[in-house]
Structure 1
Amino acid sequence: MATCKPSCPCISHHDQDYVVLSNSPRKRRRTACSISLLLLSGLVYAFWPSDPTVKIVRLHVKNIQVRTVPVVAIDVSLLLTLKVSNGDVYSFHYTTLDVAVGYRGKTLGHIRSHNGHVRACGSSYVDAELDFDGVELFSDVVYMLQDLAKGSVPFDTVAEVTGHLGLLFFHFPLKTKVACEVVLNTITRKILRQKCHQN
């Protein structure tokens, strides 16, 4: 039997040894590096410039008239409202906005706007009126007449935006192109569906 003195701990052969593990400096450095990389990745994701989006939110037909003399042609008058959205933390200034409107691969005309501004994480609307007089459709006139009879006409749009993103004294040049297929109900004069993809 082991005898113990009051001032000393009692040690017997049956006691077990315990090892206390502590974080090494190398492990703490690895943890700090991992956290720093995560924070840096988040900042890069938040501040990395992204392309603006352009969408037709309103397409109104003022007039569609098919003429057969002297050649088969069509007069189209459209009212459009474009929405330019900027999802970045930078403001976006576009110098040119060009939207081509077509039917079955044939360009009817262009909408052009200059010097617009979209605030950070915001949107801007551009109203435009298009008058296409005497556009010759040739073989496509049959499809146009069929679409008009059905009450829905598919239009193709290609929007090109050129400008720059800006934050304080930093400017990032930007150019984007968005193509959309827009199906218009000529009776209610509302957009039935719209499918876009960015080039």
Structure 2
Amino acid sequence: MATTDEEHQPVVFYAAIPQNSPDHDHQDYVVLPLYPHRRRPGLPPDRRHCLRRSIFFSAAALLLAAAIFLLYPSDPKLTVVRLRLNRVQLRTSPHLSLDLSLSVTLRVRNLDFFSLDYSSLAVAVGYRGRELGFVTSQGGRIRARGSSYVDADMVLDGFEVIHDAIYLVEDWARGSIPFDTESVVKGTVGVFFLEVPVQARISCQVYVNTKNQTITHQDCGPDEGWL
């Protein structure tokens, strides 16, 4: 098979600028210079070291803050589960005195990741801001993130009423007496080698029906109290 001369001619991608071309004096050529590729300047080694160290200390500070937030002891949560009136009686002879018996069941919840040792739980009852009496229960231990139920009985027999005697007689005649109860639990939480004191407090306003010997209304919540 015959081949032409064009098939054997090499392919030329670049050609030299002709020097003796008759049209050389009438042609313009643009020569573009070759610019070397430059790398972007980076941070100096000392600045890179400072940046890494800052990131490390920032991350360590965040982890430490999170650990303190999770592990630092908080006060337990105290809740009144049940409040029952057993007896209420007003005596006028030989002097004005009050008989009162209340039963309360409290729930102590430990919110920490360490066990809670509480020394005692005190329950007090008052009338118009004055304490009438209180009772304490024995202490115990509550496991981490656990709860415990504590029962307490408040009994007043023949308590002589001196202050606010007139108001007490008027409330008795109306058939409803408002009492205040307050419960306080105190203890310590062991964090490694430290004993951190904690406490919880809750108070209730209780309205007692003197005719049917029942509690008609109660409102409980945290309070500064008087114990």
TM-score between the two structures when normalised by the length of structure 2: 0.69
Give the C-alpha shift of residue 191 in structure 1. 5.1
Q: State the secondary structure of the residue aligned to 1:24.
A: helix
3-state SS of paired residue (1:186): strand
Identify which range, 28-37 or 152-161, moves more after superposition: 152-161
What SS does the aligned partner of 2:223 have?
strand
**Residue 19 (1) aligns with residue 40 (2):** yes
Give the conservation status (yes or no) of the 8 Å contact 2:123–2:154.
no
The structure 1 residue matched to 2:184, chosen from 121, 139, 159, is 159
Q: Summarize the Cα distance change of 1:39–1:28 in structure 2 as closer, same or farther, 3 Å threshold.
A: same
Deviation by residue 1:57-109 (Cα, 9 ceiling, x = unmatched): 32211111000000001100101112222111111111222222222233222
* Alignment-derived partner of residue 172 in structure 1: 195
Amino acid in the other structure paired with 2:180: F
Aligned pairs, how many?
187
SS in 1 for 2:69: helix
| Equivalent residue runs for 1:113-192 within 5 Å | 113-147=137-171, 149=174, 151=176, 153-157=178-182, 159-161=184-186, 163-166=187-190, 170=193, 172-176=195-199, 178=201, 180-187=202-209, 189=215, 192=218
Change (3 A) 1:175 1:87: closer
Question: Is 1:2 aligned to residue 25 of structure 2?
Answer: no
Query: Could you tell me which residue of structure 1 aligns to residue 221 of structure 2?
Result: 195
Q: Which residue of 2 aligns with 1:97?
A: 121
Corresponding residue for residue 7 of structure 1 = none
Unaligned runs of 5+ in 2: 1-30
**Counterparts of 1:147 and 1:195 in 2: how far apart (Å)?**
24
Separation of aligned partners in 2, 1:165 and 1:175: 7
Which residue identity does 1:184 align to in structure 2? V
Alpha-carbon distance between aligned partners in 2 of 1:102 and 1:118, rounded to the nearest angstrom: 29
For the residue of structure 2 that corresponds to 1:110, the secondary structure is strand
Q: Which moved more, 1:97-106 or 1:183-192?
A: 183-192
Q: CA deviation at 1:35?
A: 0.9
Identical residues among aligned pairs (%): 32
How far apart in 2 are the matches of 1:112 and 1:152? Answer: 24
2:97 corresponds to 1:76: no
Does the C-alpha gap of structure 1 residues 105 and 192 become closer, same or farther in structure 2, counting only changes over 3 Å? closer
Task: Kindly indicate which of the two structures has a greater share of residues assigned to strand.
Answer: 1
Verify the 8 A CA contact 1:182 1:191 in the aligned structure 2: no
Q: Secondary structure at the match of 1:39?
A: helix
Root-mean-square deviation (CA), in Å?
Answer: 2.9
1:131 and 1:154 mapped to 2: Cα distance?
14
In 1, the alpha carbon distance for the partners of 2:224 and 2:207 equals 24
Following the alignment from structure 1 to structure 2, what is the Cα–Cα distance between the partners of residues 37 and 94? 33
Larger CA deviation: 147-156 vs 46-55: 147-156
